[in-house]
Amino acid sequence: MELKKVGDKTYYIENPTNIGIYKIDDKNVYLIDAGNDKDAGKKILKILEEQGFAVKGIINTHSNADHIGGNKVIQNRTGCEILSSNIERAFTENPILEPSFLYGGYPSSDLRNKFLMAKESKTKNIEENSIEGLEYFPLKGHFFDMIGIKTSDDVYFLADSLFSKDTIEKYHIFFIYDVREYLNTLEFLNTLDGKLYIPSHSEATDNIKSLININKNKIFDIINTILNILKDEKCFDDILKEIFDKYNLIMNQNQYVLVGSTIRSYISYLKDENKVISEIKDNKMYYKAI
């Protein structure tokens, strides 16, 4: 973890999940996300203590475990408030919801792991608790009610609305809950005019135009892949296998639910766009491109 100053009041900790920091006065700061687990939370606290900073609060952009995993240890040690939005609050306070949602039922112990299920923490509604110098805005698509944060230094924290070129080239499929909303978010990002942009899983940059295009192109690549697979009718697990095979992905328990949930979202999008139909035959659900 490395602390970087990017404005008069704005810092971030470079990390696999970047952590934003905003100074509200000489001592107190708000974090933007809290890392993936308690060890990340402890490291964040150590870095802040070395700078003489105290945590006043945490803003969670959304409730995925790699963004809220440090919440509990930081909140327990500092008594800080945690601000989040709408459905994300429910997931943060009841982390069993994430693996349950991804799996579609009660998750086995294989899925009740720190990568999919953080420790619970207490939250407040960000809509009712404004912070001077910070603005939040919706970034729907990746998860239910994900938000981004703009600081008074004209720095944008963009959560999981964009993924790096290296990540996309390696994994191809990044988690999306609502494909249409994700595409709308990419269009919105094109309208932003800031000094610096910090996605959670990509390097900070002063220009996100090319990164937006890379993410958008991959969305349409996956859409075309699914439509090609569905030239003949197939059941879902057969679709999923062909996706893993095409992109040379290795399936494990986590990837089965993460990629599986994402591909279901793509299929829902394509059904709503009248490009795919579904039919139940012999007690099986089949999908086919129109």
For the segment 188-216, what is each residue's pLDDT rounded down to a tens digit?
999 999 999 999 999 999 999 999 999 99
Q: What is the pLDDT of residue 1?
A: 84
Edge-to-edge strands, sheet with 54-59? 2-5, 10-14, 19-23, 28-32, 54-59, 81-84, 124-125
Q: Can you list the residues of the chain whose pLDDT is less than 70?
A: none
The pLDDT value given to residue 279: 98
Give the amino acid at 28: N
Topology at the third CATH level for domain 2-207: Metallo-beta-lactamase; Chain A (3.60.15)
**Whether 22 contacts 151, CB under 8 Å:** yes
What CA–CA distance (Å, rounded) separates 79 from 34? 14
The pLDDT score that the predictor gives to residue 67 is 98
Q: CA-to-CA distance for 193 and 180, rounded, in angstroms?
A: 23
| 221-289 classified as CATH 1.20.80.10 | no
| Tally of residues, the chain | 290
Domain boundaries, the chain: 2-207, 221-289
**Predicted pLDDT at 26:** 94
Whole-angstrom distance, CA of residue 281 vs CA of residue 153: 58
Q: What is the pLDDT of residues 141-163, one digit of tens each?
A: 999 999 999 999 999 999 999 99
pTM of the predicted structure, to 2 decimals? 0.96
